[in-house]
Amino acid sequence: MAAEDRPIVIVGCGPGSAKYLTLAALEAVNSADVLVGAQRLLDLFPGIAGMRIPVEKGIEKALNGIGRHLGDGNIVVLVTGDPGLFSLARLVVKRFGRRNCRVIPGISSVQAAFAAIGLDWGDAAIISAHKKDPEIGTDWYRYDKIAVLGGRESSLRWIGERLLPDQGNRRVFVCENLTLEDETVREIDPEDLSELVASPRTVVLIIERNVLE
């Protein structure tokens, strides 16, 4: 099956601002008969006529919704950032198979975070603390740059209490609401991290001091 004929298109919508949508994403969404995604992503596309399936807490419900509409034209599934980085895309591809899915990349929140502090990130480690405290081994020590997806209430506490104490001489940047009007990027004292309340859209960068000098 040619990529264009696959019934499910998974679209990376970037970190949240419409300015960071790609033309390919817009083209896919414009041809959607069924649009599936979190409400804030659906809101990025107010003018689309197709049916809308909001993804709420139960992802299973959304997957069943996609299943019910297979064969009803183009199904477009919206995900935050890039589909390849800790997104709903994995579950959609697992349920419906790669042969039925086309993936359109998007700008990740991790890209936006590194861009905000002007640092390249090809050698960075990326950890998700988005859903739960991750299990980590000791090999994180060898990375000079670590990005943590930290948009959960207790993620910052986990970083402050579990990850940072083992990380030596690091600087910590808390990047909230990237690309949005209320974007903030601030360096904080690692000791203050545990007590910090941050946005559900937060990436924390932990950078070896020498890298920034």
Ligand X SMILES: C[S@@+](CC[C@H](N)C(=O)[O-])C[C@H]1O[C@@H](n2cnc3c(N)ncnc32)[C@H](O)[C@@H]1O
Point out which residues bind ligand X (CB under 6 A).
15-16, 79-82, 85-87, 108-110, 130, 149-151, 175-180, 201-203
Q: Which residues pair with 79 in a beta bridge?
A: 12
Q: What minimum distance in Å lies between the beta carbon of 79 and ligand X?
A: 6
Structure tokens at 206: 């932990």
Q: What minimum distance in Å lies between the beta carbon of 71 and ligand X?
A: 28
| Residue (29 or 69) nearer to ligand X, CB | 29
Structure tokens at 89: 């895309």
Q: What minimum distance in Å lies between the beta carbon of 124 and ligand X?
A: 13
Q: What minimum distance in Å lies between the beta carbon of 100 and ligand X?
A: 20
| Residue (51 or 126) nearer to ligand X, CB | 126
Residues 181, 199: contact at Cβ < 8 Å?
no
- Enumerate long-range contacts of 62-70, CB under 8 Å, 24 or more apart: 62/36, 62/88, 63/91, 63/92, 63/95, 65/36, 66/8, 66/34, 66/36, 66/92, 66/95, 66/96, 67/95, 67/96, 69/33, 69/34, 70/7, 70/8, 70/96, 70/100
Q: Whose CB is nearest to ligand X?
A: 81
| Residue (69 or 80) nearer to ligand X, CB | 80
| Residue (8 or 178) nearer to ligand X, CB | 178
Residues 6+ positions from 68 with CB-CB distance below 8 Å:
none
| Residue (32 or 82) nearer to ligand X, CB | 82
Q: What minimum distance in Å lies between the beta carbon of 135 and ligand X?
A: 17
Q: What minimum distance in Å lies between the beta carbon of 74 and ligand X?
A: 22
The DSSP annotation for 157-211 comes to HHIIIIIGGGS-SEEEEEEESTTSTT-EEEEE-GGGGGG----SSEEEEEEEGGG
d(CA 142, CA 20): 32
| Residue (186 or 209) nearer to ligand X, CB | 186
